[in-house]
């Protein structure tokens, strides 16, 4: 009888925990008791939109009419230059911290930290919520520190209490919530009483990156994903317009996309003795952490001798332009040996997808991303040259009237201040 009772209890608890999981998975998280400072109420509003993998030329190539029209009323850059490596987490986090990946610590979608002896992976829910992986002060944290509320409908880092603070309103990452519901949530945020209303809102789209990987940058499916985003951003801008608030839009992407050689993946298995190294793979870049430091040279020699379609560097010899060597390695997460693929080749043990990114933008121009901005704070019809994504942070801070330690970041205000109305 007791056994039966225990079993029933166990099933009940399992069902409750499942229901809680299902609930929290898509439910908005609200931090209680947050209010805008009274001196902050007149600040403008900024919606920071990221469309993952929206290459610099997609707007024209796929005739994204709404975006073209919105950009024509604001600012358009020739391109936004991603930081190296041009993958999602490092670049989203560079955009919101103004720092190169090796300076903010989120150096890959996958990271091995030898001091912690642990791994970060973007699909590991526990790791993404652990603030110890994230350096710098993201723009939403800076805002919250200065009593200006923030909200996030997804952004790498937004689920971790960085410097002890989460965004006032946020959703845990989940690709299932329909776009209409997501737009509605933004309108609801902007319809809150002014003391509770967020001034900086992040909004993220995964669809274009997904299609680019699966079908390649030139595929009709990628064109379709661009058109989906084009319509969704237009719908968002119309819905927001109805609130009558002075809302500015900053539209960015984290990197581009290139067609890769699927037939000849770079298979490192024969060259890497996994009993001697810990490895973090990011597709176009591999960090090799050698357990016994006395063996670095010997292992490097093997990888150097095997160089085909990639380059092998000792950490101290990685060219400084990558900002990915010993001098830049503030969190000691870069491998003792760094392997960098030459486009269109890709590190993989199986046949890779047709589209990929991660390469250095000056070597592979297909990595160039997009920057557009419009709204009451921006000049109209401004066309600006390509610039690095670390310079967006000072722009956002200036628009929101937030103070930050200028010397602590890599981005410079002078790069973008000309796009703002005086």
Q: Which residues bind ligand AMP (CB under 6 A)?
A: 52, 87-88, 109, 122, 128, 154-156, 173, 204, 206, 209-210
Which residue, 173 or 374, has its beta carbon nearer to ligand AMP? 173
CA distances for 50 relative to 99, 277, 320, angstroms: 17, 35, 28
Is-contact 58 212, C-beta < 8 A? no
* Total residues interacting with Zn ion, rule: CB under 5 A: 5
CA–CA separation, 155 and 204 (whole Å): 6
Say which entry of ligand AMP, Zn ion, none residue 170 contacts (CB below 5 to 8 A, set by partner kind): none
Closest approach, Cβ 157 to ligand AMP, in A, equals: 8
Site membership for Zn ion, residue 209 (CB under 5 A): yes
Which residue, 98 or 108, has its beta carbon nearer to ligand AMP? 108
Closest approach, Cβ 173 to ligand AMP, in A, equals: 3
Closest approach, Cβ 319 to Zn ion, in A, equals: 23
Q: What is the DSSP letter of 277?
A: E
CA–CA separation, 99 and 249 (whole Å): 22
- Rounded to the nearest 5°, which phi and psi values hold at 248? -105, 145
Total residues found in the chain within this entry:
422
Closest approach, Cβ 311 to ligand AMP, in A, equals: 21
Q: By beta-carbon distance, which residue lies closest to Zn ion?
A: 88
Query: In 3-state terms, what secondary structure has residue 88?
Result: helix
Site membership for Zn ion, residue 207 (CB under 5 A): no
Say which entry of Zn ion, ligand AMP, none residue 109 contacts (CB below 5 to 8 A, set by partner kind): ligand AMP
Segment contacting Zn ion (CB under 5 A): 114-122, 202-210, 383-391, 400-408? 202-210
Closest approach, Cβ 355 to Zn ion, in A, equals: 8
Site membership for Zn ion, residue 388 (CB under 5 A): no
Burial class (CB in 10 A: 0-12, 13-18, 19+), 189: buried
Which residue, 128 or 361, has its beta carbon nearer to ligand AMP? 128
CA–CA separation, 266 and 282 (whole Å): 13
Specify which residues 47 forms β-bridges with. Answer: 201, 249
Which residue, 84 or 378, has its beta carbon nearer to ligand AMP? 84
Pick from 230, 254, 287, 366 the residue near Zn ion by CB under 5 A. 254
Pick from 34, 45, 52, 247 the residue near Zn ion by CB under 5 A. 52
Closest approach, Cβ 358 to ligand AMP, in A, equals: 7
Say which entry of Zn ion, ligand AMP, none residue 287 contacts (CB below 5 to 8 A, set by partner kind): none
Say which entry of Zn ion, ligand AMP, none residue 206 contacts (CB below 5 to 8 A, set by partner kind): ligand AMP
Say which entry of Zn ion, ligand AMP, none residue 44 contacts (CB below 5 to 8 A, set by partner kind): none
The stretches of 316-408 forming alpha helices (DSSP H) are 392-400
Pick from 69, 71, 81: nearest CA to 383:
71
Site membership for Zn ion, residue 366 (CB under 5 A): no
HSE-CB of 396 using CA atoms within 13 angstroms: 32
Which residue, 57 or 278, has its beta carbon nearer to Zn ion? 57
Segment contacting Zn ion (CB under 5 A): 2-10, 48-56, 144-152, 297-305? 48-56
Query: In 3-state terms, what secondary structure has residue 296?
Result: helix
Q: Which two tokens stand for residue 14?
A: 């399992």
- Kindly provide the residue ranges of all beta strands, DSSP E only, lying in 155-252, ordered along the sequence: 169-170, 200-205, 247-252
Closest approach, Cβ 112 to Zn ion, in A, equals: 20
CA–CA separation, 206 and 301 (whole Å): 39
Which residue, 58 or 300, has its beta carbon nearer to Zn ion? 58
| Complete DSSP assignment for 12-79 | HHHHHHHHHHHHHHHSPEE-TT----GGGTT--EEEEEEETT--TTHHHHTT-HHHHHHHHTSEEES-
Give buried/exposed letters for 285-306 (b at 16+ CB in 10 A, else e): bbbbbbeeeeebeebbeebeee
Segment contacting Zn ion (CB under 5 A): 132-140, 181-189, 205-213, 331-339? 205-213
Restricting to residues 55-114, which ones interact with Zn ion according to CB under 5 A? 88
List the x/- string, 154-193, binding to Zn ion by CB under 5 A.
----------------------------------------
Binding site for Zn ion (CB under 5 A): 52-53, 88, 209, 254
């Amino acid at each position: 009888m007791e056994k039966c009772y225990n079993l029933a209890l166990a099933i009940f608890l399992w069902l409750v925990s499942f229901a809680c999981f299902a609930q929290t998975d898509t439910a908005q998280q609200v931090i209680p008791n947050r209010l805008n400072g009274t001196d902050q109420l007149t600040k403008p509003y900024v919606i920071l939109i990221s469309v993952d993998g929206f290459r610099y030329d997609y707007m024209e190539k796929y005739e994204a009419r709404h975006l073209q029209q919105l950009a024509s009323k604001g600012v358009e850059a020739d391109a936004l230059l991603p930081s190296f490596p041009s993958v999602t987490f490092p670049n989203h986090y560079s955009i919101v911290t103004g720092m190169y990946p090796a300076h903010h610590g989120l150096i890959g979608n996958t990271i091995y930290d030898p001091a912690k002896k642990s791994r970060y992976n973007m699909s590991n829910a526990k790791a993404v919520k652990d603030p110890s992986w994230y350096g710098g002060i993201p723009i939403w944290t800076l805002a919250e520190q200065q009593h200006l509320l923030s909200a996030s409908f997804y952004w790498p880092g937004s689920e971790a209490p960085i410097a002890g603070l989460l965004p006032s309103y946020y959703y845990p990452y989940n690709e299932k919530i329909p776009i209409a519901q997501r737009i509605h949530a933004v309108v609801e945020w902007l319809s809150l009483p002014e003391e509770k209303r967020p001034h900086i809102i992040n909004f993220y789209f995964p669809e274009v990156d997904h299609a680019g990987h699966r079908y390649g940058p030139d595929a009709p499916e990628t064109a379709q994903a661009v058109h989906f985003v084009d319509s969704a951003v237009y719908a968002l801008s119309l819905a927001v317009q109805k609130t009558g608030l002075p809302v500015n839009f900053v539209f960015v992407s984290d990197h581009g996309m290139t067609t890769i050689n699927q037939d000849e993946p770079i298979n490192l298995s024969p060259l890497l003795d996994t009993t001697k190294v810990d490895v973090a793979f990011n597709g176009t870049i591999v960090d090799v952490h050698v357990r016994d430091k006395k063996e670095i040279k010997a292992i490097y020699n093997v990888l150097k001798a095997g160089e085909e379609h990639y380059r092998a560097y000792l950490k101290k010899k990685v060219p400084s332009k990558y900002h990915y060597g010993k001098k830049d390695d503030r969190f000691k997460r870069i491998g003792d040996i760094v392997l960098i693929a030459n486009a269109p080749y890709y590190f993989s043990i199986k046949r890779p997808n047709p589209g990929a990114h991660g390469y250095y933008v000056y070597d592979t121009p297909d990595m160039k991303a997009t920057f557009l901005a419009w709204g009451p704070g921006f000049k109209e019809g401004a066309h600006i040259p390509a610039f690095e994504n670390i310079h967006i942070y000072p722009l956002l801070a200036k628009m929101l009237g937030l103070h930050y330690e200028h010397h602590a970041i890599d981005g410079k205000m002078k790069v973008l201040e000309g796009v703002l109305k005086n």
